[in-house]
Each structure stands twice: as C-alpha cells, then as structure tokens.
Amino acid sequence: MELVNINAMQKKYDKLSTGFAVGILLPIAVFAVAMYLRYTNSPQMQYLGLKYMINFTPKILSLSICSNLLPFYVFLKTDRLVGVKGVLAAMFTLALIVFILFIFV
C-alpha cells in the first residue's frame, strides 16, 4: 500500500497559474449565471434593449469578483500561498477591467 505525500499533492496545485485560472474563471461563471438569470425573458430587456444591459454589465461584473473570496480563503487555509497570489492577480486584473468599463460605458 502506497502512502500519499500530502506536501507533494499540495505543491501540485500551489501554482500561480492555477490560482489565476480559478480567479478568472469563477467570477466569469458567476457573471454568466447572473446575466442569464437577470436578462432571460425580461420585459425590460425587450423594452430598453441592449443599452440597458450594457449599463449594468460593469456593476454585475464587479459584484461577481466577490466570488473570489471563496478560493482565496481555501488557498490560504490550505497553505497554498502561491495560489493565493494568483487569485489576487486575477482579482486585480478583473478590477482593472471593471474600472475601464465604468469609464468608457
């Protein structure tokens, strides 16, 4: 019977790219679900059209960035500090995108 080395498994997922991927994909998934729930068969969408949706996109995206708190604390509690750096990098990248959208939209 083979013993599993916990540190080796921890190091496998303790990468900057893993944290960045989780930090980007989770808010995008939350954003997609929120947009689907908000604008599916909505009379406002039919009445006001695309401009209505574009005005709320940065606001919903900025709220979906809060979903990164979950992987942040999971990586932090499991002592995967390089993964935490990736999640933070993703949060700052998405925050910059939201800031640009607020300025130009």
d(CA 16, CA 81): 9
Computed over every residue of the chain, the mean pLDDT equals: 83
At residue 56, the pLDDT reads: 76
At residue 47, the pLDDT reads: 58
Using the predicted structure, report yes or no on whether residue 39 has a pLDDT greater than 80: no
Using the predicted structure, report yes or no on whether residue 73 has a pLDDT greater than 80: yes
Alpha helices in 40-80 (DSSP H): 43-48, 50-64, 69-77
CB 14 within 8 A of CB 83: yes
CA atoms within 13 A on the CB side of 34: 19
DSSP SS3 for 17: helix
